[in-house]
Structure 1
Amino acid sequence: MTQFESSIKVIPYAQKRVYSKLSDLSNLEGVKDRLPADKIQDMSFDSDSLSFSVSPVGKITLRICEREPEKCIKFETTKSPLPFNLWIQLVSTAEEECKIKLTIKADVNPFIKGMIQKPLQEGLEKMAEMLSSIPY
């Protein structure tokens, strides 16, 4: 297993509020316009799953497979050229502040890892940045 982690970002909102918004994917309607249109297209979602196309990778569908209230949301791919799991972890640091970290675990061979490591790390970082800057 290969693991990729975002840096830890601070969100100026209570952990419960952030978890509540992120654990129901239908709340993401408001952030669609913050996504880079040149990288992500055809985004659609319901409360438990999220689908989008990423160039040059193709169509990816993620489904929430586990919710640990206020702490962690785990996703698994149901459709992806590269199967992986994604964790969104939240830690409260103050009454109106929490920290967020994203982790991806994928079973990739060393050849593929060399090709995907940089774009995957950059994508994870951009996603963490976007999630830390939206209103909750």
Structure 2
Amino acid sequence: MAVQFESNVKHVPYSQERVYNKLSDLNNLEGVRERLDMVKDKLDGKLEDMSFDRDSITLKVQGISLTLRIIEREPLKCIKFEGDKSPIPLNLWIQILPVTQEEAKMKVTIRAEVNMFMKAMVSKPLQEGVEKLADMLAMLPY
């Protein structure tokens, strides 16, 4: 059974092109990792580590490793990821739309394949996770 979770739409004070260019090459997230190291103690051990290259990001959350790999780039509009070595089959995509020439909006969506029993267990953490991810992406300096 596929379940889908969407973040609220987030406004970003940068152009659609700048946002897309930064997020479509995950090497550009080095600054995020540096900030993570500074606030790790505030995360209650939830996010333990993060590594990435141009096309993938690996997160270690509460002892579980999750790798997301970019599977499609739709220039300026959307970046699609697929879970690789994830505990459940999942996809994630970041949609970016222009508001003005210097402002964009974005939404993060996660779709996961889970059974009825797992749905009850993962729904709240996935909804919270998609919202926190969208908040974090909206605050990045592009």
**TM-score of the two chains, using structure 1 as the length reference:** 0.95
- Looking at structure 2, the residues matched to 65 and 41 of structure 1 have their Cα atoms a distance apart, in angstroms, of 25
RMSD (CA atoms)? 1.2
* 1:123 and 2:124 aligned: no
Tell me the amino acid that sits aligned with residue 120 of structure 1: L
The answer as to 2:62 corresponding to 1:62 is: no
Structure 2 residue runs of 5 or longer lacking an equivalent are: none
TM-score scaled to structure 2, two decimals?
0.91
> Aligned partners of 1:72 and 1:22: how far apart in 2?
10
Structure 1 unmatched ranges of 5 or more: none
User: Which string of whole-angstrom CA distances, capped at 9 and with x for unpartnered residues, describes residues 18-39 of structure 1?
Assistant: 0000000000110124446322
Aligned length: 135
Which of these residues, 100, 106, 112, is aligned with residue 106 of structure 2?
100
Q: Please name the residue that 1:4 is paired with.
A: 5
CA contact (8 A) 1:41 1:53 kept: yes
Distance 1:18 1:39, change over 3 A: same
% identity of equivalent residues: 59
